[in-house]
A = this chain, B = another copy of it.
Amino acid sequence: MSARLIDGTAIAQGIRAEVTEQVSGLRARGVVPGLAVVLVGQDPASEIYVRMKGKACLDAGMHSETVVLPAETTEEGLLAVIDRLNADPAIHGILCQLPVPPHIHAEKILFRIDPRKDVDGFHPLNVGKVVLGDPTGFRPATPYGVQQILIRSAIETRGAHVVIVGRSNLVGKPLSNMLSRPGPGGDATVTIAHSRTRDLPALCRTADILVAAMGKAEFIGVDAIQPGATVIDVGTTRVADASRPKGFRLAGDIAFEPVREVAGAITPVPGGVGPMTIAMLLVNTVQAATLAAASR
């Protein structure tokens, strides 16, 4: 029996439709949520992401601003752009597309963004608020998307054992904090595993819900899956594939074909967690605009 396929694209579309409705409600009150995306240099993958984010904003009826700066922009110059956007009342969310060129300290830029506009949720103040369950904190888009996939696919987290493989600040850490909190999409018993974990497959086999977020192509095989478990694949790695027009294919951290025969439900790559990240970015921007409007 093959696992239920979780359609992240469809879930993300549903969320984006909800966002569009919320934006229209805000516009009726004179508030147009605005997102500014800053891109330094000409990384082709970054250019695609930035374009997708801008288009998603416009589709939802939001204001979108893209600031493209040359690769030789100084740190001071970039900080000045952030300061300008921090002060701009038309902008409720700011994100700086990573990576930035090596002469710029990414942390210095990210921590300069006003925490109230930090819709990526990277600022330590937002990291802390998410741990504490403060509703004014922004949850980073990827773990937020994973939690929404679980909620909207009716996968019970309460009392479930969730094993998260990968302890990154972007995914593993915030997700473990979110899923172990009380409430819907929470109340799970959460284990965070990583490269130092002993006998990873045995640990993973104890998971009712397995989240793979290491970025190692097809690293997790069927020996790591409890029959019937839900498997969420956050990884996205380019793997050389001469049979594809672009010369590569996208692979997740899960060996998809064998695992789908054993799992109860599984997210594909692409079309699983990926589409959720832009949807959750829009959700965060609407949250920022709503909070800003309430504090006026």
* Interface residue ranges, A against B (CB under 8 Å): 123-129, 131-132, 134, 137, 158-159, 161, 167, 169, 173-174, 176-177, 180-182, 187-194, 196-198, 203, 206
Contact = CB atoms under 8 A, between A and B. Distances in A.
B198 A159 contact: yes
A191 B127 CA distance: 20
A182 B187 CA distance: 26
A7 B180 CA distance: 32
B189 A193 contact: yes
A159 B197 CA distance: 5
A60 to B, nearest CB: 29
A64 B194 CA distance: 43
A192 to B, nearest CB: 5
B189 A176 contact: no
A37 to B, nearest CB: 23
Which 5 pairs from chain A and chain B are nearest by CB? A124-B128, A128-B128, A127-B128, A191-B191, A187-B196
Given A124-B125, A180-B167, A181-B167, A131 B173 contact: yes
Given A131-B174, A173-B177, 13 more contacts: A125-B128, A128-B128, A131-B177, A161-B203, A167-B181, A177-B177, A182-B196, A187-B196, A189-B191, A190-B191, A190-B192, A191-B191, A191-B192
